[in-house]
Chains A and B, each alone.
Chain A
Amino acid sequence: MSEITASEPVRHRIRAWSGVLPLLAMLAGAFLFHIAVGAKPLPVTTVFDALISFDPTNFDHVIVQNLRLPRAVLALVVGAALSLAGALMQGVTRNPLADPGLLGLTTGAAFAVVLAQTVFGVAALAAMPWIAMSGALGAAVIVFFISRLVPGGATPLSMTLAGAAVSAFLGTIISIIHLLNQDTFENLRVWLTGSLAGRDITLLWYTGPWMLIAFVAGVLLAPRVTVLAMGDEVAQGLGVKTGWLKAQLLAVVVVLTACSVALAGPLGFIGLVIPHVVRLYVGSDYRWIVPYSALVGAAYLISVDIVARIAIPPREISTGIITALVGAPLFVHLVRRRAR
């Protein structure tokens, strides 16, 4: 008896562990390739040299260290953060359509940043994470509040509709601010389409610590998300303090989303897509879904950013456009599948 019941999780665990190494290799490969391609293609050996033994007189090394490495790191961090946030949200809300973008969090963070920079003239980078976090938190609270008021409660559908409404409203106000402050807005325009190009990497020093804490907390909380995904009553029956756990998870999601937005602008659909892909491989155990989402998400955004950079040379497509282009069909597919 015990053999039969134990074999299933064990097989899953073996399968999950077996994926870690190929995944890390894939991530490293994408990372190096991301640095190597560009207006001046560099051989991977040069990239290696530049990373390991940096020579400030070598022009290629300077390109790698000053331009390409920061961008690759940015894609890595933001991809991992948004995917992890999406995975946690899907578990907590039991909503397969949950995504920091669809539920209004990214627009909330973007709105707060725009408001702070153009209207109140806050330019201090140190303040940005806090501003973005308060915006994301505010939007999250409003969306969940609205979806609770909808007859039938906070279903995936009501949450998505509320998220779309809040995003539309905040987006409109952003447009108005844009119109009224055309000069100051110029430098935010690219950022608002969700772009990794030309970002100020020093911002990573201010957001990094927060994101690191949130990453660790997310992975540590993941086992209890599995229980939570079975429903509040089951979770309470198993001794989980659901309210406190949800508050912690909300904090993690808000920190990761807000810092990502501060770094790269509102990138959509990453948090939706990656956890679904991961689930195909590791099943429904959030102990695996959460860390896997972070790894796959990082590799995914790096790959997307490569496409964004080289698809139509010499111009560059905003990364956020491509994530929407890939993510929206999957969203449509998920809506259809839920109907069955």
Chain B
Amino acid sequence: MNTVAPPRQLVLRTPRQLIALRLPLRGLVVAGLLLLALLLVSAISLATGSYGVALGEVWETLRGITISRVIDNVIWEFRFPRTLCAALVGAMMALSGAVLQNATRNSLADPSLVGVSQGAALAVVTLTILFPELGSGWRPWIAFAGSILVAMAIRTLSQTHHGPSTIRFVLMGIGLSAFISSITSILLTYGEIDRAMAALAWLAGSINAASWGDVWTLLGWAAVLFPLLLLLSRSMSALRFGGITAIGLGAPVTLVRNVQLAIAVGLAAIATSVVGPLGFVGLVAPHAARRLAPAGMGLHLVLVALFGALLVALADLVGRAAFAPIQVPAGILTALIGVPIFVLLLIRSQPASSS
């Protein structure tokens, strides 16, 4: 008799089984390692820059001990919020991609590839150039509105009487992105030069100007959206098997799919509104997490978030350290890593179901 020993795992349950997480040990170990790497990158990031600070001094400063006013200033006002921003934005983009891939059942979906980022970009550029008197507090909301409109447009357009097709969804995204980007370009050409320059810096996907305000914005939204995702994780696992099976398993498919899309769009829009479009993080992180450790949906999402955070933190660190004093925006580096992976995934994908 062949009895396969179940993988060693921990099970976490909340009292009424709203959440039940099976945690395979390998997944937990990988999560721990990712967290460690993230902390390490953050520490190096805090210490690196035009004003070098020793790692020990970073630690002292973070504990509230003032070594010098300059170090205090550099760490607390510039590098710490920036590092936090990078990690948060990375986690949000990665989760957005994971949810998008689950909802569309398309392993190539990424917020930047299907026009969601461009929708947010157009909305924010419009805000920056045409309505500068409205403060940056409006940014997340406007970005969310822009993204959700584009997402809905793409969803409607890719829905034909053959039903939704995954690859058509991506093609629609490419077409619509080109259209939206050209409107954005018109605004940039036509708009007042100062405002256009501000919008341009943001468009490159740079974390240069991150402030504590941005950190609080991101944290606030993350505090709402992350738990919501964990609540959804069980229905999301059902959706992994496709719509019909998921209905059979008792998941409210249409509702879950729509909520998922809203969350995916929300995460990408908030992250985009703060640092600008960061390409391909949402594409890469879910695949990397799946490769690193098999896990149930809940833990998978945690791994995805950690990997995304690590990826963007690293991209930000490399971008500002490698060619110093020139700062290469993190978005450029994530695209540089992401595109070859996209090609690899394209080559290894299943034949398109409908074309």
Contacts and interface: CB of A to CB of B under 8 A. Distances in A.
B339 A339 contact: no
A335 B168 contact: yes
B175 A150 contact: no
B355 A161 contact: no
A151 interface: yes
B302 interface: no
A318 B343 contact: no
Q: What class of interface size applies to chain B in its complex with A?
A: 35 or more
A293 B328 CA distance: 42
16 contacts: A97-B171, A151-B347, A161-B174, A161-B346, A162-B346, A164-B174, A168-B335, A168-B339, A179-B326, A317-B186, A317-B190, A318-B185, A324-B182, A332-B172, A338-B355, A340-B160
A331 B346 CA distance: 21
B2 interface: no
B162 interface: yes
B332 A149 contact: no
Interface of B: 108, 113, 157-158, 160-162, 165, 167-168, 170-172, 174-176, 178-179, 181-183, 185-186, 189-190, 204, 279, 323, 326-329, 332, 335-336, 339-340, 342-343, 346-347, 349-352, 354-355
Interface in A147-164: 149-152, 155-158, 160-162, 164
B171 A268 contact: no
A325 B179 contact: yes
Contacts of A328: 175-176, 178-179, 182
Contacts of B352: 152, 155, 157-158
Taking chain A's interface residues, is the majority helix, strand, or loop, or is none over half, making it mixed? helix
Interface stretch (A45-53, A64-72, A117-125, A169-177): A169-177
Contacts of A62: none
A328 B179 CA distance: 5
A150 B336 contact: no
Interface of A: 97, 146, 149-152, 155-158, 160-162, 164-165, 168-169, 172-173, 175-176, 179-180, 193, 268-269, 312, 315-318, 321-322, 324-325, 327-329, 331-332, 335-336, 338-340
Given A180-B323, A332-B157, A161 B189 contact: no
Shortest 8 CB-CB distances between A and B: which pairs? A328-B179, A324-B182, A152-B351, A169-B339, A332-B175, A331-B175, A328-B178, A172-B335
Taking chain B's interface residues, is the majority helix, strand, or loop, or is none over half, making it mixed? helix
Contacts of A172: 332, 335-336, 339
B172 A150 contact: no
A317 B185 CA distance: 9
Contact of A150 (B178, B339, B346): B346
A162 B178 contact: no
B171 A176 contact: no
Given A332-B175, A339-B168, A321 B343 contact: no
Contacts of B179: 324-325, 328-329, 332
A175 B339 CA distance: 15
A316 B168 CA distance: 35
Contact of A335 (B171, B178, B328, B332): B171
Contacts of B170: 161
The CB with the most chain B CB atoms within 10 A, among A160, A164, A327, A340, is that of A164
Contacts of B108: 161
A151 B204 CA distance: 34
